[in-house]
Structure 1
Amino acid sequence: MTEVYFYHLEQRTLEQVLPTLLERSLERGWRAAVQAASKERVEALNSLLWAYREDSFLPHGAASDGSAAEHPIYLTDDEDNPNGAAVRFLVDGAKLEDASSYTRVVYVFDGRDGGAVAEARAAWTAAKANGYEVSYWQQDGDGRWQQKA
């Protein structure tokens, strides 16, 4: 059964949160795909993951890097899954028609953006209607994730 998580950003930005979420996915032994809304955003995330921390490395790539199946983390602006990801992150309003092939799908949305919140609510409703297990996570004042629903 696919789990669908909703991560509501309030205290930190996507750029601050995404690397940690990806590290946790790799620790579980999951390959990951990150779907953004545009090729430009994919390239920005690609650059971010190379340099987000001096003492860490996240093995990743995008279509521009070639050999997609070899990357434990694959960045895309499409619904493709050439690296066989078990978890898919949807950022910047990216949409996924069918989540059933994933162990987990994670919507990461900016709580300060009314449009993003409305899109997340619609995605929550659709995920429940499709019979997926859904949960909602929100940052506390220290930036830690707390399950709210």
Structure 2
Amino acid sequence: MAEYGFYHLTRTPMEQALPKLLGRVLAGGGRAMVRLASTERLEALDAALWTCPDPDWLPHGTPRSGNAPLQPIWLTTEDAGPEGAPNGARFLFLLEGVESARIEAFDRVLDLFDGGDEDSVIAARQRWKAAKAAGHVLAYWQQGPRGWEKKA
């Protein structure tokens, strides 16, 4: 079972929080797949990651740029295939309320949701219940004054 973490954004928007989390994955030698809800958001995130100041280098690719196996970070609107992420990622980031039918293909899932959007919070609670019922190890993280704080 995957370790499934819910990341409650309360202090910074996703565009600021995500790069730091991705940087941690890369610093640990990992690979990530980031799943978004729309092509427009994917293209905006693609551009933002190339100009991100912290960390200043987040090598990544998209279906448009291709070469998934060579990409440490893969941005997509598609779910992982039966064999997992096309770039061999063991970390799955779910943004904008998207879900995955291939959670078992990953060691860790990071579900980021906007705490300022009540619909997003309600949907995250539903995803939590479904992940718990599926037997995943769950963790809840919330942004605090000194960064991410794990809550009980």
TM over 0.5: yes
Q: How does 1:24-35 map to 2 (within 5 A)?
A: 24-35=24-35
Q: Report the TM-score, using the length of structure 1 for normalisation.
A: 0.95
Amino acid at match of 2:44: A
- Give me the whole-angstrom Cα distance separating, in 2, the residues matched to 1:87 and 1:10: 22
User: RMSD over aligned Cα, in angstroms?
Assistant: 1.3
Distance 1:143 1:65, change over 3 A: farther
Which runs of structure 1 show a deviation greater than 6 angstroms over 4 or more consecutive aligned residues?
A: none
Query: How many equivalent pairs are there?
Result: 148
- Give me the whole-angstrom Cα distance separating, in 2, the residues matched to 1:122 and 1:54: 32
**What is the identity percentage for the equivalent residue pairs of Structure 1 and Structure 2?**
45
2:19–2:54 Cα contact (<8 Å) kept: no
1:147 paired residue number: 150
Match of 1:134 among 114, 118, 138: 138
- Give me the whole-angstrom Cα distance separating, in 2, the residues matched to 1:82 and 1:27: 20
2:61–2:75 Cα contact (<8 Å) kept: yes
- Give me the whole-angstrom Cα distance separating, in 2, the residues matched to 1:54 and 1:115: 29
Structure 1 gap ranges (5+): none
Q: Report the TM-score, using the length of structure 2 for normalisation.
A: 0.93
1:120 paired residue number: 124
- SS of 2:110's partner is strand
1:11 paired residue number: 11
Amino acid at match of 1:22: L
1:99 paired residue number: 103
Deviation at 1:28, TM superposition (A): 1.8
2:19–2:55 Cα contact (<8 Å) kept: no
User: After superposition, what is the alpha-carbon deviation per residue over 1:3-40, rounded to whole angstroms, capped at 9, x for unaligned?
Assistant: 00000001100011000000001122211000010011
